[in-house]
Amino acid sequence: MISFIAQRIAKAIVVLLALVVMNFFLIRMAPGDPAVVMAGEAGAGDQLFIAQLREKFGLDQPLPVQLFLYVKGILSLDLGFSFRQQMPVSKLILDRLPATLLLTGTAFAISLAFGILFGALAARFAGTWADTVITIAALIFYATPLFWVALMAILLFSVTMDWLPSFGYETVGAGYTGLAHVLDVAAHLILPATTIGLFFMATYARMTRASMLEVSRLDFVKTARAKGLSDAVIQRRHVLRNALLPVVTLAGLQAGTLVGGAVLTETVFAWPGIGRLMYEALLQRDYNLLLGVFVVCSAMVLAFNLITDLVYRSVDPRIEFAA
């Protein structure tokens, strides 16, 4: 198992470097550069100022030189300096990463737990009104854009009912500590986490339902029934467990894309995470910061894929590790 993990990590590093090089060129293909954006914000139009900025950022050097310096930095775990934020990229990302992990982790847990639960219920009661309700709700949440759900949630729960805060990570200036702080953050977390969670929950519910219905038609389920096991035991121990494999695969793949969902949600809810950092860096052509966030996101996707492979093993003992 250790050699399997080591080999996967080695491969992941190669993939990561390839992604860095590809992203490096992709970003630079977009029109505009950070010097012009910053000069624009300063309302200062002279060429000297823009030239100074380009020189300061190293943008006056040939592209291969810029790439060489960047990759060299990456290899020594240096993600560079953010042009706009005037701070090391790694510090910016590390400062924001916990908020994103909290948000996406909660959203992931909500989506997985409720997705599997509702999917299982829909399969168990397939063809009944409960199945129809769950299926329609899942389709609606899957088809509705995240930012729209976010705005409607704010309108309902913050403006109309005044139950939950509409923006931020905590109540600024309240000075809460201990349990009060935890509850305050939790209150701020509910709307954004549920918004992301609903979208992914819909996918898992659909996947679980389909997979369970498929598994329940297999011979070993008939055998279990012939043995006289109760329906609840058959569904939980035999059908659900076997039906979870594709759900685990999907969850592993989507864990990485959760950050993508967080870009919009963090922006609407002013959640101070790396999704927002990425969005702002993109608009400001903050090359180093954008690449840094991409590196971290790519690393997360690769890590989740590895974890998925490991989880396979525990869900289905028939699977063996092979490098």
Partner 1 sequence: MSKRKILVSFAAMCMLSTAAVAEGPKPGGVINAVIQPEPPSLMMGLVQNGPTQMVAGNIYEGLLRYSPKLDPLPGLAESWSVSEDGKVYTFKLVKGVTWHDGKPFTAADVLFSIEFLKQTHARARGNLAQLEKVEAPDQSTVVFTLKQPFGPFIGIFEVGSLPMIPKHLYEGTDFKTNPANNTPIGTGPFMFSEWQKGSFIRLVKNPSYHVKGKPNIDEIYWHVIPDAAARSVAYETGKVDVLPGGSVENFDVPRLSKLKNTCVTGAGWEFFSPHSWLWLNNRSGPTANKKFRQALMFAIDRNMAKDVVWNGLGKIATGPSGSAIKYYTSAVPKYDYEPAKAKTLLKEAGYKGEKVRMLPLPYGETWQRWAEMVRQNLQDVGINVEMVATDVPGWNQKVSEWDYDIAFTYLYQYGDPALGVGRNYVSSQIAKGSPFNNVEGYSNPEIDRLFADGAVAFPDAAREEIYAKAQKILVEDVPVAWMLELQFPTITRCSVKNLITTGIGVNDGFRDAWIEK
Catalog residues that contact partner 1 under the rule CB under 8 A: 30-34, 36-50, 56, 84-86, 92, 95-96, 99, 151, 154-155, 158-159, 162, 165-170, 172-173, 267-270, 272-273, 276-277, 279-280, 283-285
If the CB atoms of residues 205 and 263 are measured against partner 1, the closer one turns out to be 263
Rounded to the nearest whole angstrom, what is the least distance from the CB of residue 37 to partner 1 in the complex? 5
For residue 87, the 8-state DSSP code is E
If the CB atoms of residues 73 and 214 are measured against partner 1, the closer one turns out to be 73
- DSSP string over 251-312: HHHHHHHHHHHHHHHHHHTT--SHHHHHHHHHHTT-HHHHHHHHHHHHHHHHHHHHHHHHHH
Q: How far apart are CA 192 and CA 198, in angstroms?
A: 10
133 to 129, 130, 158, 192, 218: CA distances (angstroms)? 6, 5, 27, 24, 26
If the CB atoms of residues 204 and 287 are measured against partner 1, the closer one turns out to be 287
Rounded to the nearest whole angstrom, what is the least distance from the CB of residue 77 to partner 1 in the complex? 21
If the CB atoms of residues 27 and 212 are measured against partner 1, the closer one turns out to be 27
If the CB atoms of residues 201 and 274 are measured against partner 1, the closer one turns out to be 274
Rounded to the nearest whole angstrom, what is the least distance from the CB of residue 185 to partner 1 in the complex? 12
If the CB atoms of residues 154 and 240 are measured against partner 1, the closer one turns out to be 154
Rounded to the nearest whole angstrom, what is the least distance from the CB of residue 154 to partner 1 in the complex? 6
Rounded to the nearest whole angstrom, what is the least distance from the CB of residue 149 to partner 1 in the complex? 13
SS3 (DSSP) at 88: strand
CA dihedral 30, 34, 36, 39 (to 10 degrees): 160
Rounded to the nearest whole angstrom, what is the least distance from the CB of residue 85 to partner 1 in the complex? 5
* Among 214, 192, 23, 46, CA closest to 119: 214
Q: How far apart are CA 69 and CA 58, in angstroms?
A: 10
